[in-house]
Amino acid sequence: MDEGYANLPTSHLLGSVPAVTQDDRKPSPPAAQDAAATSRLQEFPPAPGGNGGGYRPPGGPADGDVENQADWKGYFNVASYAPYFNVDTDVVVDRLISSIYPMDGFYRKIDANPDMYGPLWITTTLVFMLAAFGNYATYLMQNKKDLDIWNFDVGYFSWAASVMYGYAVIVPAVFFFLFQYFGSRQSLVRFWCMWGYSLFVFIPASVLLLIPVEFLRWVIIALAGGASSWFIALNLKECTEGADLMVLMASASVLQFALALFIKVFFFA
């Protein structure tokens, strides 16, 4: 092993017990790294020089070769993502509840410790729920119309997975770049975290959408979409702290509502 890498975690091999390090190696694109370095203000032990920690030793040379090598190794090591899962059960439950309760303060909760556990499992749960309940809902509607042909449409799984994972990963990233373009420095991980938790309201909504009354379904999805958009708008406003980017916030809310409508139209037709 290279002697320069004094801070490396002790194992890079899958299958052995990884040492959980306090690295805050962020999987952000290398181009934005310097720009984003100043925004990582409240992450774990703030590294000397504000370079974001990582695998560089405190006094080591900061030449490009070392940086690229450290970058590359960091992405494939499970332990380097562990800081984003540093939450307990009660913390996660607290965040979930505050995501549907229309009050301020969610962003403040995640600011110090953004977690990726919530977004990952909320989107996964939503994929399964949309596929399962979407099928069940079409079954109930067809039952009402006395049709005999119904079979489980497995395509719902693929569609749900593509839509939900795509939305949860791509939309925050796009907004991150747009915010960067307009000069407001944000944190990609916090965006992912926030957008992920904003999807939580669709889980109880998809349960309620089983009710085979069409009008009620539209009311439910409108409420859910509205709550989610409001959550996004509120938190974007808080994290941009007054930078006048209403266009971006409005478009984020509209996108969230469009997602709600898509869910209704495609899965619960």
Q: Which chain residues interact with another protein by CB under 8 A?
A: 14-18, 20, 78, 81-82, 84-90, 92, 117, 121, 124-125, 128, 132, 135-136, 151-155, 157-158
Query: What's the CA gap between 193 and 172, in Å, rounded?
Result: 9
**Of 9 and 225, which CB lies nearer to another protein in the complex structure?**
9
Asked if residue 218 lies in contact with residue 264, where contact means CB atoms within 8 angstroms, the answer is yes
Q: Is 87 or 239 the residue whose CB approaches another protein more closely?
A: 87
**Contact, 257 vs 226, CB < 8 A?**
yes
Torsional class of 177: left (φ above 0), alpha (ψ -120 to 50), beta (otherwise): alpha
Whichever of 111 and 153 has its CB closer to another protein, that residue is 153
Shortest distance in whole angstroms from residue 219 CB to another protein: 26
Nearest to 25 by CA among 54, 48, 55, 4: 54
**230 CB-contact burial (10 Å; exposed 0-12 / middle 13-18 / buried 19+):** middle
CB of 175 to another protein, least distance (A): 25
* Exposure letters 86-119 (e unless 16+ CB within 10 A, then b): ebeeebbeebbebbbeeeeebbebbeebbbbbbb
- Amino acid identity, position 185: R
Rounded Cα gap, residues 227 and 219, in angstroms: 12
Nearer to another protein, 35 or 154 (CB): 154
What is the spatial distance between Cα 210 and Cα 147, in angstroms, rounded to a whole number? Answer: 18
Both tokens assigned to 127: 């994929």
Would you call 39 helix, strand, or coil by DSSP?
coil
What's the closest the beta carbon of residue 51 comes to another protein, in angstroms? 24
Supply the minimum distance, in Å, between the C-beta of residue 190 and another protein: 18
Residue number with CB closer to another protein (157 or 266): 157
* Pick 90 or 241: Cβ nearer another protein: 90
Nearer to another protein, 129 or 245 (CB): 129
Q: Could you say which DSSP state residue 31 is in? A: G
What is the nearest approach in angstroms of another protein to the Cβ of residue 21?
11
The letter for the amino acid at 137 is: A
Least separation, in Å, of the C-beta of 68 and another protein? 25
Q: Smallest gap, in angstroms, from Cβ of residue 143 to another protein?
A: 13
